């Protein structure tokens, strides 16, 4: 690997990823991240706890679910309660009393989500605070400074993020700027021995731009790489191609973090494409709308059909919610004025995501990942051949179209319309 | 709602104890007419007799205990009648209805309360509804009440506050001082006390609690109450709770509720201890000093 090109000399970045198994028929890998607050098995799904809390779940509950790494957000925490206070509280770990690992996003995503309140220049991103109207500049240096104060185990570079629906010269500008900002982040990083700075590959949906970004960023000796700028409004066809391109050019011995991905199908396909880490607000957010994740899709528990359904959300699920409560009870709670159901569902949805990743990992280690994918798609869509076209394409690209059959007989990919299922089964 | 509808619901719920259907309207008015009070007692006794009869006829319901309700508004004569008559029925305990309100109205009813409980058998529990504040609880206990609702800690949580009042009546000055964690000073010098105006959930902050939304807790890395063994105090700081409240996070309520219940139940534990060792007066004095 080429040496870092930034002006300040940087020590060789730690190798935090240990590969445990690789699938021979896809790019899937099982591994272990060695992080300051303990090991993390990969592939891993990281729940998002934006403001130093996991939406109503205690640290103890999250730990009991087996979570060993979750996310905090630099932009939000930088405003409230602010890095000085968190530093006084012994870092974000101390402040929220989380004993395991934390990953902080740089604040870059807020550039897209709060686009009306922000302005991007070479210097950084200028935000207008939604709380008091105050203006603040989030530069690469400032972002790293805040993240150094937060003390998270993995920190993200500040990248120039554009929505994946944007086209034209802005995308190229953002890609090159992200490289320059990466170098500035590396230079500003005060604690490379304690915190792992990840680069974020940009380039939008343009193959050439992505390729350029990959070539440049992989010259920098960082402990890990994220694939950014996706999971916005782009088509799934474009999405998977950019993911596949990225993983094909990223070093094998460093973790690949695909940002903003959390739907079950997406997770499984992107593991096949060679990604190791994922984060998404989806499971926790959808819980707060009364939606429970299950292997066949989701249950909208507010609906009348669950009024007298005394089964647990998922009889196979070992989470506290499924051990103790019925769909009927949760339905009743959802129609009451207290928030208890939201907590129960958040617990379950996190458990679902973690269990899925665990199962994926086991299948890779036990050399049966393709069969796992087959079963997963079958359960989710009624038949493996009924999974979305983009997923079929993505998987087929890996192993010449026999992929989906695993060890079974090849079936033609023309679904029988009488078997087509419109909504996920329950 | 009729007696039979009511009992049908109880049959479905299968509670261990249930409060009998009663007429509590006399208690809702400012000044009860004797006529209205009499009616409330008559109706309640009628409901009770009907429910008891229906209970007899149901095997499922016989496993539950009926709690008789004492009505009568503020009319002494009617209260005594209600107590005596209800006591004649085979109920498992008694609920004293109509004593809810604010501390001033409770004060005027304390005499009524003593008179009522004097008519009730010693060996059956007495419940009261609508009374939950620590000082009011002690007044009622002195007058023969055994069970209370715990909505007070819930209300405290809902307004983003944490119970910090001391119930350690044991005369050990050093221990007391460190446990109170500066609360004594706060009570003496801070202007936190306000008269309670309404009985709704929007009650004002009492002097039994601290308001975690206040800016002064932003950098306070102490637990809510030093020495408290609840999950919140063992794991988190006032600064963290403050942050959760300011950012409107769900976890704030979760953690505060855990603490407030533990604190409140700790208070009741100390009441039982004080009664056993005949030190209720000391506990009462300690609470009185902390009341607004």
pLDDT at site A389: 95
Q: What angle do CA B176, B179, B184 make, to 5 degrees?
A: 70
The number of C-beta contacts closer than 8 angstroms across A and B is 56
Given a cut of 50, the residues of chain A with pLDDT beneath it are: 1-10, 400-402, 405-426
The tokens for B81 are 């009648």
Average pLDDT over residues B126-150: 96
Q: What confidence tier does B28 reach under pLDDT thresholds 50, 70, 90?
A: low
Nearest Cα residue to A114 out of A100, A91, A131: A131
A58 in B contact zone (CB under 8 Å): yes
Nearest Cα residue to B211 out of B196, B230, B191, B231: B191
Whole-angstrom Cα distance, residue A146 to residue A324?
41
Instruction: Establish whether A279 is a catalytic residue.
Output: yes
The CA-atom distances, in angstroms, between A331 and each of A295, A337, A343, A375, A401 are 20, 12, 13, 30, 43
Residues 272-301 of A with CB under 8 A from B: none
Q: Do B218 and A96 touch (CB under 8 A)?
A: no
Whole-angstrom Cα distance, residue A43 to residue A270?
10
The tokens for A133 are 């109207």
Closest CA–CA distance from residue A339 to any residue of chain B (Å): 9
Whole-angstrom Cα distance, residue A292 to residue A260?
19
Q: How many helices (H) and strands (E) does chain A have?
A: 16, 16
* Cβ contact B98:B193 at 8 Å: no
- Strands across the sheet containing B65-70: B17-19, B65-70, B93-96, B126-128
* Cβ contact A4:A186 at 8 Å: yes
Q: Tell me whether strands A69-73 and A101-105 are parallel, antiparallel or unpaired.
A: parallel
pLDDT at site B193: 38
Q: Do A56 and B249 touch (CB under 8 A)?
A: yes
Tell me which of A153, A160, A221, A279 is the catalytic residue: A279
Contacts of A52 in chain B (CB under 8 A): 240, 243
First to last CA, chain A: 49
Average pLDDT over residues B256-272: 98
Q: What confidence tier does B180 reach under pLDDT thresholds 50, 70, 90?
A: low
The residue with greater pLDDT, B193 or B134, is B134
pLDDT at site A344: 97
Which among A88, A97, A342 has CB closest to B235? A97
pLDDT at site B101: 78
Q: What percent of chain B has pLDDT over 90?
A: 79
pLDDT at site A418: 34
A280 is in an annotated binding site: no
The residue with greater pLDDT, A215 or B190, is A215
Q: Among B13, B231, B254, B259, which would you mutate to test the A interface (most chain A Cβ atoms within 10 Å of its Cβ)?
A: B254
HSE-up of residue B28 (Cα within 13 Å, Cβ side): 4
* Cβ contact A328:A309 at 8 Å: yes
DSSP E strands: which ranges in A289-345? 291-294, 297-300
Q: Which ipTM did the prediction report? A: 0.87
User: What is the secondary structure of A358-418 as a DSSP string?
Assistant: HHHHHHHHTT-HHHHHHHHHHHHHSSGGGS-HHHHHHHHHHHTT-GGGTTSPP--S---GG
Q: What angle do CA A314, A316, A320 make, to 5 degrees?
A: 70
Nearest Cα residue to A100 out of A173, A44, A138: A44
Average pLDDT over residues B204-229: 96
First to last CA, chain B: 41
pLDDT at site A198: 98
pLDDT at site B173: 61
Instruction: Establish whether A105 is a catalytic residue.
Output: yes
Q: How many helices (H) and strands (E) does chain B have?
A: 12, 6
């Amino acid at each position: 690997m080429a040496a870092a090109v930034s002006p300040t000399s940087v020590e060789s970045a730690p190798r935090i990823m240990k590969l445990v198994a690789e699938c021979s028929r896809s790019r899937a890998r099982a591994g272990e991240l060695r992080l300051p607050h303990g090991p993390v098995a990969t592939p891993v799904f990281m729940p998002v706890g934006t403001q130093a809390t996991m939406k109503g779940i205690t640290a103890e509950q999250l730990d009991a679910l087996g979570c060993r790494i979750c996310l905090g957000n630099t932009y939000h925490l930088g405003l409230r309660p602010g890095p000085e206070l968190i530093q006084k509280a012994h870092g974000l770990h101390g402040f929220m009393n989380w004993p395991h690992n934390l990953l902080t996003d740089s604040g870059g995503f807020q550039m897209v989500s709060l686009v009306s309140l922000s302005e991007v220049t070479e210097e950084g991103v200028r935000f207008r605070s939604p709380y008091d109207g105050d203006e603040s500049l989030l530069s690469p240096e400032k972002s790293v400074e805040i993240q150094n104060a937060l003390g998270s185990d993995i920190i993200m570079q500040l990248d120039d993020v554009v929505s994946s629906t944007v086209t034209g010269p802005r995308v190229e500008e953002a890609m090159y700027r992200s490289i320059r900002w990466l170098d500035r982040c590396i230079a500003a990083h005060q604690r490379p021995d304690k915190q792992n700075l990840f680069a974020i590959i940009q380039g939008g949906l343009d193959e050439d731009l992505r390729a350029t970004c990959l070539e440049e960023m992989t010259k920098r000796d960082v402990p890990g790489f994220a694939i950014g700028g996706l999971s916005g409004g782009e088509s799934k066809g474009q999405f998977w191609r950019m993911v596949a391109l990225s993983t094909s050019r990223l070093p094998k011995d460093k973790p690949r973090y695909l940002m903003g991905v959390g739907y079950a199908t997406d997770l499984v396909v992107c593991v096949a494409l060679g990604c190791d880490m994922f984060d998404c607000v989806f499971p926790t957010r959808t819980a707060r709308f009364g939606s429970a994740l299950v292997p066949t899709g989701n249950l909208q528990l507010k609906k009348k059909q669950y009024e007298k359904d005394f089964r647990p959300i998922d009889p196979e699920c070992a989470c506290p919610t499924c051990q103790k409560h019925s769909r009927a009870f949760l339905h009743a709670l959802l129609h009451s004025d207290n928030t208890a159901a939201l907590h129960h569902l958040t617990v379950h949805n996190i458990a679902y995501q973690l269990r899925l990743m665990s199962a994926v990992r086991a299948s890779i280690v036990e050399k049966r990942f393709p069969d796992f994918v087959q079963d997963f798609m079958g359960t989710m869509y009624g038949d493996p051949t009924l999974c979305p076209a983009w997923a079929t394409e993505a998987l087929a690209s890996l192993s010449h179209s026999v992929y989906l059959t695993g060890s079974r007989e090849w079936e033609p990919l023309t679904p029988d319309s009488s078997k087509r299922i419109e909504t996920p089964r329950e | 709602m009729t007696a039979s509808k009511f009992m049908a619901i109880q049959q479905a719920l299968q509670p261990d104890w249930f409060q009998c259907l009663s007429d509590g309207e006399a208690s809702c008015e400012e000044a009860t007419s004797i006529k209205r009070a009499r009616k409330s007692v008559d109706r309640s006794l009628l409901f009770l007799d009907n429910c008891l009869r229906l209970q007899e006829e149901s095997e499922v319901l016989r496993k539950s205990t009926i709690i008789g309700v004492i009505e009568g508004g503020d009319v002494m004569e009617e209260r005594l009648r209600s107590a005596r008559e209800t006591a004649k029925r085979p109920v498992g305990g008694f609920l004293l209805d109509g004593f809810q309100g604010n501390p001033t109205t409770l004060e005027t009813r304390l005499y009524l309360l003593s008179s009522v409980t004097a008519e009730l058998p010693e060996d059956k529990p007495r419940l009261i509804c609508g009374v939950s504040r620590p000082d009011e609880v002690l007044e009622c206990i002195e007058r023969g009440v055994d069970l209370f609702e715990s909505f007070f800690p819930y209300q405290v949580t809902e307004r983003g506050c944490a119970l910090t009042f001391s119930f350690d009546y044991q005369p050990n000055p050093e221990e007391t001082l460190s446990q109170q964690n500066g609360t004594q000073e706060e009570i003496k010098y801070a202007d936190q006390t306000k008269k309670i105006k309404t009985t709704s959930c929007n009650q004002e902050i009492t002097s039994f609690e601290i308001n975690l939304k206040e800016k002064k807790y932003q950098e306070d890395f102490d637990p809510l109450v030093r020495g408290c063994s609840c999950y919140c105090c063992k794991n988190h700081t006032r600064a963290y709770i403050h942050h959760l409240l300011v950012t409107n996070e769900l976890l704030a309520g979760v953690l505060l509720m855990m603490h407030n219940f533990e604190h409140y139940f700790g208070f009741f534990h100390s009441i039982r201890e004080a009664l056993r060792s005949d030190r209720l007066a000391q506990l009462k004095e300690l609470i009185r000093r902390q009341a607004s």
